[in-house]
Amino acid sequence: MAVEELTERDELREFLVQDRLANAYLLGNLDPSYFQFCRWYGSRDERGEIANLMLVYRGLSLPVVFTSGRGEDLPDFLKACYEVVPERFHFHVLETQMADLNSTFEVGQAEAMIRMGLERRHFEPGVRDERVERLGHRDTAQIMALYEHYPDNFFEPYQLETGLYFGIRDEEGDLVSIAGVHVVSEAHDIAVIGNLVTHSGRRGQGLATACTARLLEELFERVSLVALNVQVENAPAIRMYENFGFRANNRFYEGRWSKAAERAGA
């Protein structure tokens, strides 16, 4: 199968907008702020249109691989991409594509996730919690300290440059809850929120809800569609997001893979 590197953002956007929520990360990464970290690979159908797509995003300490497409000839496409994927990566793959990914890369365990979305017209802001403050680079040390307890986060300090990280401190001034973004693109009218963390000793106090509410207020001044990921089994988080108006769009899987681990298991 012929696989080519794709660089034309207009062509990529035309393909991705067919399901904006399922492709939320990929759409957001078309923004110049993120595009510099991206390598896009695709195969074409008989009409010359994109059939399958892989994004290798290197803007995080561990690269992330995303897949999208109609699923036709996906196993052949994945095999053809084997040489271009990093030695280690985190992956996001649609539920319908997981079996093909596993048969090609032997990824082993992966976590079932739900992609949820909320449109601006369905969001109703409430009373602002004055404890919530905007976070910046001066807060990096405390942010990193809180995220240390949650190693599956996707935080990098440069993300603070968006101005879209918010937190609440305890009585000693330490951060105990944070909400932020993975990607935001005004040009493509979409954002993905994430890196939402609350200290284990302060859960059940509405801190995550307060931080998320403030984040959404700010985001809907910039974009009209916000997406997020949540674990299938995380019922409290799903309820919180549904209370904001988020609704499920699709399921996908995420996990980690490395060539070294695959060789060791061979």
Could you tell me the two tokens for 263?
């060789």
Share of the chain above pLDDT 70, in %: 97
Q: How far apart are CA 113 and CA 108, in angstroms?
A: 16
Q: Of 20 and 106, which is predicted with more confidence? A: 20
Give how far the C-alpha of residue 124 lies from the chain's centroid of Cα atoms, to the nearest Å.
24
Band of residue 48 on the pLDDT scale cut at 50, 70, 90: very high
How many Cα atoms are found within 13 Å in the side-chain-facing hemisphere of 259?
A: 7
Q: How far apart, in Å, do the first and last CA atoms of the chain sit?
A: 25
Band of residue 154 on the pLDDT scale cut at 50, 70, 90: confident
pLDDT over 60 at 203, yes or no: yes
pLDDT over 70 at 133, yes or no: yes
Band of residue 159 on the pLDDT scale cut at 50, 70, 90: very high
Tell me if 262 sits within 8 A of 255, measured CB to CB: no
Taking residues 137-161, report their average pLDDT.
Answer: 90
Facing residues of 36 across strands? none
pLDDT over 90 at 91, yes or no: yes
pLDDT over 80 at 90, yes or no: yes
Q: How far apart are CA 261 and CA 236, in angstroms?
A: 34
Per-residue buried b or exposed e for 153-183, using 16+ beta carbons within 10 Å of the residue's own CB: bbbeeebbebebbbbbeeeeeebbbbbbbbb
